[in-house]
Amino acid sequence: MTVLKSIRDLSGKDVVILFGKSRAGKSTFINDAYREKVAESTGSLTSETQEISYVAQPIRVDDHEVVLVDTVGLGGSGEDHDRASFTWKWLSIFHSGKDRKNTSGPTVKGFLYFIDIMDGAINEDNIRNLETFKALVGEEVLGSVIFVTTKWATKEEQTTRKRLENNFVGWAEKIHLDFPGASILRLDDTTGRLDEEGLNELSPAERTEEEREYHNNAMRVLRQLLQKQATKSILAEKEMNEGGLETGTGNTTSEKAILRHVVTDLKRAAPVGGYFMKYITSAFPFTQRDTRDSGK
């Protein structure tokens, strides 16, 4: 994986951007699509993805060649996995390409937002992740978003399956209400998914067949996304590259939309120490005034 320092690094490329909570399956999806380990993924409590990065070698999906971009997980375990830190990295990537005026940006074909269906019903943290995502990409491109639910139990595991189906209904209702035009689907609906231990118990032939099914599931999602590809620019790209606005000032719609989420996270984290507060107010100078206001 190659760290994405500027959106212009992908000039002329067709791009699919992966979002979602830490450990929701973004990196695993990339590995399934390529049928090899090109992105670090783990089943532990710690997310491996530390930077917004991409696979240098595009993947062919029928007649298309697209670059998959893996983002830092929202609401993860590390200090770089909070919404504020992720947002700063996202905005900086678009801002850093602003000076290359003669270089065209990539064509964003769409967005995949990954949901661990085992994560349970929608809670406040999940809602704020969704709202942050919506603020970053903009409402005009919601029709090119697919929400991908992962970590489904097999149909034989009926008790677990029933609970997950209930989770899916709740997510679907939220998405259809707040993300008009977006789709939601089950990644491993008919197959479920074995963990590494389960895969190791299979014969080589059985493992090959199992992994082929995972690959087919990933390609099915990419094909569906490319059929409803984006026709509008991402909000951050439009504002920063066309409008020339500076990050950290609070002048862009993207920054204003995420401001209340940043402040909420700041207030929640403040009791455990001052590092988080210092980081946010230095990365987002315009939050200093809103942090004072939020105490009212």
pLDDT tens-place string over residues 229-254:
665 555 555 555 555 444 444 455 55
- Quote the radius of gyration of the chain (alpha carbons, Å): 19
Residue type present at position 121: A
pLDDT tens-place string over residues 34-62: 999 888 765 544 445 568 888 989 999 99
Q: Looking at residue 269, what is its pLDDT?
A: 52
Overall average pLDDT of the 214-236 stretch: 80
User: Using CA atoms, how far apart are residues 49 and 28, in angstroms rounded to an integer?
Assistant: 11
* Phi-psi domain of 71 (left: phi exceeds 0; alpha: psi -120 through 50; beta: other): beta
More confident residue, 85 or 123: 123
For 140-193, the pLDDT digits (tens) are 888 899 999 998 877 677 788 888 889 999 999 999 999 999 999 999 866 678
* Confidence label for 124 from pLDDT (cuts 50, 70 and 90): confident
Tokens standing for residue 16:
């699919």
**Predicted local distance difference test score (pLDDT) of residue 61:** 93
pLDDT value for 113: 95
Query: Residue 80: which pLDDT band, with cuts at 50, 70 and 90?
Result: very low
- Burial label for 40, CB within 10 Å (0-12, 13-18, 19+), is middle
pLDDT average, residue stretch 109-122:
88
Percentage with pLDDT > 90 across the chain: 27
Which single residue is written with the structure tokens 């700063």? 88
Least confidently predicted of 78-92, 192-206, 265-279: 265-279
Q: What is the pLDDT of residue 93?
A: 78
DSSP symbols for the chain: -EE---GGGGTT-EEEEEEEBTTSSHHHHHHHHHTS--S---SSSS----S-EE-SSPEEETTEEEEEEEPPPBT-SSTT-SHHHHHHHHHHHHHTTTT-TTS---EEEEEEEEEEGGG-S--HHHHHHHHHHHHHH-GGGGGGEEEEEE-PPPTT-HHHHHHHHHHHHHHHHHHHHHSTT-EEEETTTTT----HHHHHTS-HHHHHHHHHHHHHHHHHHHHHHHTT---S--HHHIIIIIS-PPTTSS-SHHHHHHHHHHHHHHHHHGGG-SHHHHHHHHH-TTHHHHHHHHT-
> Among residues 212, 168, 159, which one has the least CA distance to residue 189?
168
Question: CA-CA distance, 38 to 47, in Å (whole number)?
Answer: 15
Q: Which residues sit opposite 183 in a β-bridge?
A: 146
Quote the pLDDT of residue 163.
Answer: 87
Kindly tell me if the per-residue pLDDT of 271 is higher than 50.
no
Least reliable range by pLDDT among 16-25, 193-202, 229-238: 229-238
d(CA 168, CA 171): 5
Is it the case that residue 9 has pLDDT exceeding 70?
yes
Non-local (6+) Cβ contacts of 61 within 8 A are 219, 222, 223, 226
Q: Tell me, what's the pLDDT at 149? A: 94
Measured between alpha carbons, how far is 147 from 170 in angstroms, rounded to an integer?
Answer: 13
- 222 contacts 33 by C-beta, under 8 angstroms: yes
Q: In the structure encoding, which two tokens stand for residue 202, read together?
A: 């299979």
Measured from the Cβ of residue 249, the count of other Cβ atoms closer than 10 Å reads 11
Inter-residue contact 66 to 14 (CB < 8 Å): yes
